[in-house]
Amino acid sequence: MTLRIRPATPADATLIATLIRELAEYEKLLDECHATPENIRQSLFGGNPHAECVIAELQGAPVGFALFFHNYSTFLAKPGLYLEDLFVRPAARGQGVGKALLAHLAQFALESGCGRFEWSVLNWNAPAIAFYESLGAKPQKEWTIYRMTGDALTQLADQAAA
């Protein structure tokens, strides 16, 4: 088995959009997925990239991806690495692809001077939770994630203009 992790390129925009849609379907969130090759190309590879992506290949075939970006820890006074999405196609699961993607990003985080590497997982995704905990990751139960989108985001932003 030949496993390769490589940085994504603009030529991968269609592949990345496809993998994101496969992830959204697995997470039962396909109706919320608006990823297209065009907006992936712009947001990852345009003039002001907002995130980075690596592709996992088995025997030369793409089987997964990890999409990530830097954040910042004020308490550590260091950058952090935030994994937005990790996905391995079902046929490639159990072959070390997910672990290889996470190890690749852990190495990247350390090389980049990051003080932490973190991500979120859906509460119902027991296989992912067990996998992450088997690697030594710890849930942060004292934190609650808040999200603002759509009309609520627009309404709050409108208050800045007032």
**CA angle in degrees (0–180, nearest 5) for 54-35-100:** 20
Q: Show the beta-strand stretches assigned E in the chain.
A: 3-7, 52-58, 61-73, 78-88, 116-119
The amino acid at 14:
T
Q: Which of 48, 131, 116, 133 is nearest to 82 (CA)?
A: 116
CA 100 – CA 90 distance, rounded (Å) = 16
CA 149 – CA 85 distance, rounded (Å) = 18
The catalytic residues are 132
CA 136 – CA 116 distance, rounded (Å) = 13
What's the token pair of residue 1? 């088995």
Element (DSSP H or E) covering residue 37 = helix 37-45
